[in-house]
Amino acid sequence: MSESALTPYEPDREIQRRHRIDHRTERALYFMVFVGMTRPEAAAKAGITDNGLYKALRKPDVKRLHAAMCEDLRLSQMPRNLHVAMDIRDNGSNEMARIASIKYLSQSHEQLSTGQATAPGVVINVLEDKTKDITISGGPDKDEP
């Protein structure tokens, strides 16, 4: 992909002024998040050393910008993920993948965006008879270590 084809990420300039994130660091983050380069590749492309980018990634302001960029990328991929899940649900040959896509599609937007999962627990199916199914569900007791 040519560099001219890349659209630069436009963070809030007020945040950038207050926190003084170097434009080369911002550019390296863009290459890591949106282009998919490794840290050394992104640092070289942005004109800084890998160690310089490593140190910059330890700063809270840079971490915050990196997290914001990752969130933007994740949110921009959400519609495509839904279409892929619908395609797997409708056309998939693997039953477990079809079931997983149905579960994914059944989640609300809040669950998808926060990454909430169902509460863990234990389910034991004990088959006494071929006609009778007993299900015991629950988690570990709180007083057990």
Q: Report pTM.
A: 0.57
SS3 for the chain is CCHHHCCCCCCCHHHHHHHCCCHHHHHHHHHHHHHCCCHHHHHHHHCCCHHHHHHHCCCHHHHHHHHHHHHHHHHHHHHHHHHHHHHHHHHCCCHHHHHHHHHHHHCCHHHHHHCCCCCCCEEEEEEEECCEEEEEEECCCCCCC
In degrees and rounded to multiples of 5, residue 4 shows phi and psi of -70, -20
The distance in angstroms from the start CA to the end CA of the chain is 55
**Are 48 and 32 within 8 A, CB to CB?**
no
Tell me the residue length of the chain. Answer: 145
Each of the 145 residues of the chain gets a pLDDT tens digit; together they read 455 455 556 656 655 555 678 899 999 999 999 999 999 999 999 999 999 999 999 999 999 999 999 988 888 888 888 888 888 889 988 888 888 888 888 877 666 656 555 566 676 666 666 665 556 666 555 555 4
Q: Cα angle vertex 23, ends 21, 26, to 5°?
A: 75
